[in-house]
């Protein structure tokens, strides 16, 4: 009894996690009941007889959760059945020419060779990814037809009937999966990526709060809840296989909704991989919240301003990217936050150069520096992710946002104004800073600078003015078409772990 | 033509990667040719007729690469066919009682309900992991039998024949996969884990060389080759799904070779997860080799001795663990390297406290401290991995090594001598250090100290003597039964990322 209740609870959990699962179960039941009725509908039965069972088998085996997976399996099965049927009849014909004693031996040899070859081919990574099921069905059908021991005219009839029933089963599956509450793998991949952006953004926006607040006087339950909420990012760490499977299925899907047939699903995987790299850093950062507990708050506070800004601005950038992904627009609204986080990086390095940490204990220093370096990494990753998303946006032909953006910028001597929003929880500084980024080196030189080597000396990034909120806003809107920020010059001076990634040459980003 | 050559090349690569794949292909061909001959062996054909095709189908679908996977699928298929057959006959009987018009409707409803329920159950994570195939076959068989439209005595005959042929196919698969060049998933998992240990050990042992050598004057090809060799560890990063699949299959396998039926495969996954965590740190460390290029060598050299020792001793510990895993012996030979790496950690912290880095530029400091903190992390992980492997060794009842080890140590005031082997590439220090570890706090207190908080003040670890190699060796062997090292006191003072891991309370390790 306890066992039954547990199963029911588990069922409810699985259903709540994704209600489409319940719908899917109903769809399979429907398809199967429909195909089973072939046995009873007399004209059909007369035609196909026992072969109607192949329709049932096809439905059970082919019907998958998403349209892409169902289509993929259906097409694999249909093509494999056709090819293997043809080959099987050929083999049967060839063997039958050789007389009654040699025939079975010859057929066994054919089966052996084709089965061994096909089984070996299934180990090819590319075949395994997309055609594994097809090769399986190929072996199966070939073996069944070539050895079936019937006369040839019978076999042709058999092959015809089997193929028709497989088609009927397959087509029912595909139609039901497309027209009854369809689950598109492509849509799922798109949403998964957007939600991964969201969870990382959430962590980064909350990190400052969590790292710099004393936890002693807070409600334990509250803390627990915040903690659990923060650690939602952990799902991103293991999203690789899921993303790959979805992308694989999505490739089979026809045009649906906003997605074209050849939507650049591969680029989704690149963005996803970068996000995951970033999530690894966040994972380490999360554990540093715990291990840095022993660092006195007054030591931490020395770096509070830039660290908070680095994480919150990266978080905002991610949030903006998530929004533009969800709306499928080409938006550059995240770029400004990327630049802001990089400027905070620069502030941090100035602060560190000023020797503010000279009297800190070495062991605390190691711990603190690890946090610092992780945040720098994350800022760098945010830029890479933003670039990768821009590539995705242009490959997928996302709509342009209302604001105009020129697609090419002549680099060279660039001087531009960027508003930096102060974060809300910083009371002593309510004004907004305009930062002048001046870059006197032409971009041709830096595009060739080797990746992974830091450019400590190449930051020309100075905050010069404090103005109030409204006037910035105006300035920003007026100048929106001709503000160019050459982000590759505003790098933080330290690049960690960049050797991992094959991101291409840095690009000029345009802020508007 | 070019295409064909490419396929052949790919085939050769796939075959070389694991020659057992070729053998597997032959085995499948053999099994299929064997089962196909049922059609031709007259007494068998008379008995089973067309139903012989179920044997062919079973072989194609059930025969997998490893014994565990084949057995798992075979058992799933057999049980599911049996249960679904029974239920199908029952449903058919029930429906036939209700008259000719209601019968098809009733049957369609049965099929709908069972198909929907089973499809939903396939989403349960535990079912998906082990019984997915069984549930699929259950739906299939139930649908086929309940709607088959035959009279009842025919159905019983049909069910009997189908079950026998499925059994024949399944049993052929299982026998061939067990007795012809068997591939045991358990053995594979075991070897995979050992090789993961090896690749990490290799990186750690080479790290010092790579980090502290100037690369300018070396042959570029040589450097490339070393690099590729170092980066073999990358395979460990993505080993999760592979390990899980193998463990899943291994659970189905009977006793084979040195592995019992209930070998603790789950513990392999725990050790593997810790290794992977460690590999993430190594990945970051690898990129710091590149990004720390710009740090002047004289700055790096200040920390060379402890850093080199930390990485090489962790590497040696891993190597020893790999060896004891390969030989399946309970060995504590790795513990001494764990302790050594921790003592190097302590040396490092003393060095840092002495202010040796006071004049280093902040940005270089961040970079250097990241490397330091990663190595500290790795040392801590090495200890955790060693503990986890000890647990595995006792759960799997590995043989004891020749050396005796007492299984319980009374902690309290402990004082013990541990030889530290100097690493080969350190010319100026050829003697060997005996380290006295004195611990005055009783272990009861520290077992309850909360995890993740460092114990900076609790290291009582001083190097006091330099002696030559032979005398240490003697001392070590003589005292092997009563040297106790309470490793949890010799922690490095900084624990990073430990929040990730649910390792239990620290244990006393016994060095012998």
Contact between chains at B32 and A61 (C-beta distance less than 8 A): no
On whether both B304 and B388 belong to a single domain, the answer is: yes
A173 and A210 assigned to the same domain: no
The answer to whether residues B75 and B159 belong to one domain is yes
Q: Is B276 exposed, middle or buried (0-12, 13-18, 19+ CB in 10 A)?
A: middle
The secondary structure of residue B271, as a DSSP letter, is H
For residue B442, is it left (φ>0), alpha (ψ between -120 and 50) or beta? Answer: beta
Residue B184: which pLDDT band, with cuts at 50, 70 and 90?
Answer: very high
A36/B147 touch (CB, cutoff 8 Å), yes or no: yes
Residues A49 and A88 in one domain: yes
Cα–Cα dist A376/A490, whole Å: 13
If you ran DSSP here, which 8-state letter would residue B331 be given? -
Residue B433: is its pLDDT beyond 50? no
Chain A partners within 8 Å of B496 (Cβ): 284, 287-288, 291, 367, 370
Residues A158 and A238 in one domain: no
The strand pairing partners of A417, in sequence order, are A436
The candidate with the shortest Cα–Cα distance to B197, out of B394, B346, B344, B331, is B331
Reading the block at residue A414, the tokens are 């660039």
Q: How far apart are CA B204 and CA B317, in angstroms?
A: 10
B34: nearest CA partner in chain A: A108
A137 and A253 co-located in one domain = no
Residues A100, A199 within the same domain: no
Would you call A98 an interface residue with chain B, using a CB distance cutoff of 8 Å? no
Q: What are phi and psi of A414, to 5 degrees?
A: -120, 140
Question: Residue B387 is part of which domain span?
Answer: 185-400
Query: What is the distance between the terminal CA atoms of chain A, rounded to a whole angstrom?
Result: 64
What are the structure tokens assigned to A435, written together? 């930062």
- Residues A234 and A297 reside in one and the same domain: yes
**Same domain, yes or no, for B384 and B451?**
no
Chain A positions in Cβ-Cβ contact with residue B373 (cut-off 8 Å): 366-367, 369-370
Token pair listed for B129: 């992991």
How sure is the predictor about B497, in pLDDT bands with cuts at 50, 70 and 90?
Answer: very low
pLDDT confidence of B417, banded at 50, 70, 90?
very low
CATH number (domain holding residue A332): 1.20.58.220
Picking from A32-36, A341-345, B455-459, which range would have the lowest pLDDT averaged per residue? B455-459
Are residues A47 and A160 both part of a single domain? yes
Nearest Cα of chain A lies from the Cα of B314 at a distance, in angstroms, of 20
Rg (CA), chain B: 30
Give the domain-ending residue among A179, A194, A224.
Answer: A179
A95 contact residues in B (CB cutoff 8 A): none
Which among A30, A291, A369 has the least Cβ separation from residue B495? A291
Instruction: Output the CA torsion B398→B402→B405→B407 (10° steps).
Output: 30
Residues B143 and B229 in one domain: no
Task: Check pLDDT > 80 for residue A329.
Answer: yes
Contacts of A21 in chain B (CB under 8 A): 120, 123
**B353/A365 touch (CB, cutoff 8 Å), yes or no:** no
Structurally, chain A folds into a number of domains equal to 3
Task: Closest CB to B111: pick one of A36, A149, A358.
Answer: A36
Q: Tell me the shortest Cα–Cα distance from B237 to chain A, in angstroms.
A: 11
Question: Are B144 and A57 a contacting pair at CB < 8 A?
Answer: yes
Q: Are A338 and A508 in contact (CB under 8 A)?
A: no
Model confidence at A150, pLDDT cuts 50, 70, 90, reads low
Task: Find, among B435, B496, B475, the residue nearest to B309 by Cα.
Answer: B435
SS3 state at A314:
helix
- A contact test, residue of B7, B9, B120, B243 with most A CBs within 10 A: B120
Quote the minimal CA–CA distance from B175 to chain A in Å.
18
pLDDT at B461 over 50: no
ipTM summary value: 0.73
Sequence-ordered list of residues with C-beta below 8 angstroms from that of A420, at least 6 positions apart, any chain: A340, A343, A432, A433, A434, A435, A463
Q: Which residues of A touch B33 (CB under 8 A)?
A: 108-109, 111-112, 115
| Tens digits of residue pLDDT in B389-401 | 999 988 888 887 6
Do B216 and B297 contact (CB within 8 A), yes or no? no
Do A374 and A507 lie in one domain? The reply is no
DSSP sequence for B20-83: HHHHHHHHHHHHHHHHHGGGTSHHHHHHHGGGGHHHHHHHHHH--SSHHHHHHHHHHHHHHHHH
Question: pLDDT by residue (tens digit) across B99-134?
Answer: 777 888 888 898 999 999 999 999 998 898 889 999
Show which of A352, A379, A400 is a domain's final residue: A400
CB contact under 8 A, B283 and A500: yes
Rounded to an integer, what distance in angstroms lies between the CA atom of residue B484 and that of residue B437? 10
At residue B215, the pLDDT reads 59
pLDDT by residue (tens digit) across A180-203?
Answer: 889 999 999 999 999 999 999 999
Q: Which of B343, B365, B400 lies at the terminal end of a domain, its last residue? A: B400
Residues of B in contact with A353 (CB under 8 A): 361-363
- Average of per-residue pLDDT values in chain B: 75
């Amino acid at each position: 009894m306890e066992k039954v209740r547990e199963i029911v609870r588990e069922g409810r959990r699985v259903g709540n996690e994704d209600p489409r699962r319940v719908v899917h179960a109903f769809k399979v039941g429907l398809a199967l009941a429909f195909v089973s009725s072939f046995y009873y509908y007399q004209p059909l039965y007369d035609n196909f007889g026992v072969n109607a069972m192949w329709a049932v088998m096809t439905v059970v085996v082919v019907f998958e959760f998403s349209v892409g997976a169902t289509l993929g399996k259906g097409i694999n099965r249909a093509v494999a059945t056709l090819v293997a049927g043809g080959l099987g009849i050929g083999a049967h014909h060839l063997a039958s020419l050789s007389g009654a004693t040699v025939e079975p031996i010859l057929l066994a040899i054919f089966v052996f060779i084709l089965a061994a070859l096909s089984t070996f081919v299934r180990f090819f990574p590319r075949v395994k990814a997309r055609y594994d099921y097809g090769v399986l069905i190929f072996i199966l059908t070939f073996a069944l037809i070539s050895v079936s021991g019937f006369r040839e005219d019978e076999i042709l009839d058999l092959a015809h009937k089997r193929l028709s029933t497989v088609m009927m089963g397959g087509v029912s599956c595909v139609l039901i999966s497309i027209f009854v509450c369809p689950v598109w793998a492509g849509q799922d991949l798109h949403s998964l990526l957007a939600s991964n952006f969201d969870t990382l953004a959430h962590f980064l926006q909350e990190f400052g709060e969590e790292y710099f607040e004393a936890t002693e006087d807070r409600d334990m339950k509250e803390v627990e809840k915040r903690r659990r909420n923060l650690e939602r990012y952990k799902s991103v760490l293991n999203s690789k296989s899921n993303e790959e499977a979805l992308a694989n299925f999505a490739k089979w899907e026809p045009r649906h909704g906003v997605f074209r047939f050849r939507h650049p699903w591969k680029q989704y995987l690149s963005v996803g991989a970068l996000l995951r790299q970033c999530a690894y850093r966040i994972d380490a950062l999360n554990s540093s919240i715990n291990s840095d507990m022993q660092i006195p708050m007054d030591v931490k506070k020395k770096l509070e301003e830039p660290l908070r800004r680095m994480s919150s601005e990266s978080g905002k950038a991610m949030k903006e990217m998530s929004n533009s992904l969800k709306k499928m627009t080409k938006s550059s609204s995240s770029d400004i936050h990327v630049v802001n986080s990089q400027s905070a990086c620069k502030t941090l390095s100035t602060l560190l150069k000023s020797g503010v940490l000279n009297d800190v204990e070495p062991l605390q220093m190691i711990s603190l520096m690890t946090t610092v370096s992780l945040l720098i990494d994350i800022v760098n990753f945010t830029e890479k992710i933003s670039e990768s998303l821009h590539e995705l946006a242009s490959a997928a032909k996302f709509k342009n946002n209302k604001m105009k953006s020129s697609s090419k910028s002549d680099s060279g001597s660039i001087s531009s104004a960027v508003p930096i929003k102060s974060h809300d929880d910083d009371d002593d500084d309510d004004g907004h800073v305009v930062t002048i980024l001046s870059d006197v080196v032409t971009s041709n030189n830096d595009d060739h600078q080797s990746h992974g080597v830091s450019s400590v000396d190449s930051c020309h990034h100075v905050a010069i003015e404090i103005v109030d909120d409204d006037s910035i806003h105006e300035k920003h809107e007026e100048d929106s078409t001709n503000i160019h920020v050459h982000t590759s010059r505003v790098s933080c001076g330290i690049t960690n772990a960049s050797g991992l990634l094959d991101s291409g040459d840095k690009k000029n980003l345009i802020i508007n």
